[in-house]
Amino acid sequence: MIETVGFGQGPSFRQKYLGTWGFDNIHTMRTRHQHKLSAITLIAPIMAMVLLVGCASDPIPDAEIPEPASDSQQVITTADADTDSDTAEQDIQPVTDLTAELLYDVLLASIAAQRQQPDVALEALSRAVYVSRDKRLNATAIQLALRLKDYQKAIELARLMLADEPDNYRVILSLASAQIESEKIEDATDTLVQLGRDQKPGNEAVMQEIAALIARQEDGTRDELSRRFLEAAKEDHPSLVFTSALLAARLNQDEEFRKRLDQTLELNPAWEVAAILKLTNLADIEDAGSKMDTWAASFLRRFPDSEQFRVQYARLLIRNNKFDRALSELDIVMEQNPESKDAMFTSAVVNMDQKEFERAKILFTRYIEASNNGDQARLYLAEILIEEEHYDKASPLLRQIQSRQYYLDAQIALSGVIAQQNNIDAGLNYLRNIDVRGEEESVRLILEQDSLLRDFNQEDRSLELLTDALEERPEQPDLLYSRGLLAAQLNKIELIERDMRRLIEIQPENAHAYNALGYTLADQTERYDEALELISKALEYRPDDPFILDSMGWVHYRIGNNDKAIEYLERALELKQDAEIAAHLGEVLWITGKRSEAEKIWNQGMEWGPENAVLLKTIDKFLENQGDQQSALHQDNTLLHTRAIEFRVPLRASMFA
């Protein structure tokens, strides 16, 4: 089968890592004169200076929380972080009066930076820090010292800042970085061990950064530092043991990771993030579904109110296509906490994917009402309304979407609504006038025009559109692929062969191109040997792709290798419940005399895609003289002979593919 969704991937569930940090405290510096200068006024040029100084060493570690070593160690936190303005306001504290000497050193640092004299800038800035004890100045000075590889100065400045803020983990990490660069591995280990020991559940971001700092060192340093840290973390302290588990994960020491994670949960059985890590890790182990379920049942029996654990468990069930069980878990969350936006949104998407539109609409509406930014939910709700042909309700929802992340998708969907409410040309005109950024979005609009034309069965205009676009962009992969697919649909063998072979020249490992050409040759010609070679090549690059497996089954069927055909098609259907795969498998089963099995497969296919053209054509072909069987296969005969125009909203290729 040819996969028609292109090379991109649709969005998945929202996955956000643990929170970020920053030096957010801005202080007021008072002068002895008749005016006041804010610290930020003086610091701004200094911060610019740090960015201009191009040295190799790392500054104070990045604010972004690093990702775990693999998906199995990812912690998905879904609660939106809100800024506590009252707390931030309390952190604003006065600093030393702005003396002439202090003003001189700050301005000297700025001028030295502008003149590319970073050593002079650091010396002046350090003097200003010792006089003012200003945290923002000190943070900048530490960054500059690290960039200049003046690690002793960085250590001194970090210790000075820690005298005022002993719990500032950012400064502690900077201190450890300077100690590592100074080859004071024992001191660095002590610093990081103490930082890990001081953390509590809820501070997983800090623990992740400790692990990341150790793991990103060069081989020799990393090995010694990690050995020392892991050895020190054998004590019975849950936060330190948990940090060592994160480190083991980053070092790809899977067994050590699991052992230390279990130890963490023995020391603190209620630690939800640790429990989620174990859950996701079990889910990634082959044939460990029962172990995941056993662990989830055990944890939830002891801690039934663990909302994030239950939501994550539901997501893993969704990944395994266990939608009913996932919805049950999400319902429990919403019973315990009716305002749980994560459970609400996830359940809405599952219901949408399962065509339970009424339930999905209720949940999306509730989510939009409860969320500060519900644009993604608005887009999905509009997609349902479009599917139900409620264009008058979908249009205002799409027009409300303004966030850049979903704006283009909303505008594209709106063009389809306009086409349905007016005519195809009105929709195309709207598409052409959408503001885009860059070549990628420009190409996407061409592809969306192609899609809209095909939805209205105007393939000739679509071919003309793609041909004109390829004259301007003769080697654009997506355009070549799309025209090739259209050529296959129009039985233009020479054109699809030219486009796909050119695409293979441009992207030699593009499995979709090999598969599309191979399937077309198998389906529309007798060039079976070439088809088999092309599809085999596609399988080398994507051995578990259900569409390519379907193509392999189909070419074996065309050759006459029915047993092999059934083997490949059954494997494809296990991976993807798809109406066209069901059509192919049913046909081979029917031809080999297994007619009851064929009817069963076709029945399932009708549930997955009651309007799928290939499935309907296959059923008609084999059951046209089998009236009773046809009636038994599907009570609504109109579905077997009528195909409504499909309207595609481009955002969601598949949530659960």
Q: Give the mean pLDDT of 102-106.
A: 83
Q: Give the mean pLDDT of 403-410.
A: 94
Q: What integer pLDDT is reported at residue 583 of this predicted model?
A: 96
For residue 572, pLDDT over 50 is answered with yes
What size, in residues, is the chain?
Answer: 657
CB 27 within 8 A of CB 95: yes
Q: pLDDT, tens digit, for every residue of 358-399?
A: 999 999 999 999 998 899 999 999 999 999 999 999 999 999
Question: Residue 110 — pLDDT band, cuts 50, 70, 90?
Answer: confident
In which element (H, E) is residue 422 found?
none
Q: How far apart are CA 352 and CA 386, in angstroms?
A: 13
- State the SS3 of 265-328: HHHCCCCHHHHHHHHHHHHHCCCCHHHHHHHHHHHHHHCCCCHHHHHHHHHHHHHCCCHHHHHH
Q: Collapse the DSSP code of 602 into the 3-class scheme (helix H, G, I; strand E, B; otherwise coil) and give the result.
A: helix
Question: Residue 600 — pLDDT band, cuts 50, 70, 90?
Answer: very high
Q: Give the mean pLDDT of 141-153.
A: 90
CB atoms within 10 A of CB 331: 13
Query: CA dist 154 to 174, 175, 177, 303, Å?
Result: 8, 7, 9, 45
Q: How far apart are CA 657 and CA 648, in angstroms?
A: 17
How is the chain split into domains, by residue range? 14-79+91-182
In degrees, rounded to 5, the angle at the alpha carbon of residue 26 between the alpha carbons of residues 23 and 28 is 155
Q: What are phi and psi of 494, to 5 degrees?
A: -60, -40
DSSP state of 236: S
Q: Give the mean pLDDT of 567-577.
A: 94
Q: Which residue has the higher pLDDT, 95 or 543?
A: 543
Question: What value does the mean pLDDT of the chain take?
Answer: 82
Q: pLDDT, tens digit, for every residue of 322-338?
A: 999 999 999 999 999 99
Could you give the dihedral angle defined by the CA atoms of residues 619, 621, 625 and 628, in that order, rounded to the nearest 10 degrees? 0
CB 94 within 8 A of CB 27: yes
Burial of 560 (0-12, 13-18, 19+ CB in 10 A): exposed
Q: How far apart are CA 24 and CA 92, in angstroms?
A: 9
For residue 67, pLDDT over 70 is answered with no
CB atoms within 10 A of CB 395: 19
Identify any residues that bridge with 28 across adjacent strands, giving them in sequence order.
38, 94
Q: pLDDT, tens digit, for every residue of 527-571?
A: 999 999 999 999 999 999 999 999 999 999 999 999 999 999 999
Identify any residues that bridge with 98 across adjacent strands, giving them in sequence order.
31
DSSP string, 55-67: -SS--SPPSSPPP
Q: What are phi and psi of 2, to 5 degrees?
A: -90, 130
For residue 638, pLDDT over 80 is answered with no
Q: pLDDT, tens digit, for every residue of 427-445?
A: 999 999 999 999 999 999 9
Q: Give the mean pLDDT of 140-161.
A: 90
Q: What are phi and psi of 38, to 5 degrees?
A: -80, 155
Which of 226, 157, 234 lies closest to 197, judged by CA?
234
Could you give the dihedral angle defined by the CA atoms of residues 443, 449, 452 and 453, in that order, rounded to the nearest 10 degrees? -130
Q: pLDDT, tens digit, for every residue of 270-313?
A: 999 999 999 999 988 866 568 899 999 999 999 999 999 999 99
Q: pLDDT, tens digit, for every residue of 202-215?
A: 999 999 999 999 99
Q: How far apart are CA 296 and CA 502, in angstroms?
A: 50
Residue 183: left (phi > 0), alpha (psi -120 to 50), or beta?
left
Q: How far apart are CA 68 and CA 212, in angstroms?
A: 8
Q: What integer pLDDT is reported at residue 340 of this predicted model?
A: 95
CATH number of 14-79+91-182: 1.25.40.10
Q: Give the mean pLDDT of 515-526.
A: 96
Angle between helices 307-319 and 341-353 (to 10 degrees): 20
Alpha carbon distance, N-terminus to C-terminus of the chain:
16
Q: Give the mean pLDDT of 184-198.
A: 92
Q: Give the mean pLDDT of 242-264.
A: 93
Q: What are phi and psi of 166, to 5 degrees?
A: -65, -20
For residue 317, pLDDT over 60 is answered with yes
Q: How far apart are CA 180 and CA 53, in angstroms?
A: 21
Which of 393, 388, 345 lies closest to 369, judged by CA?
345
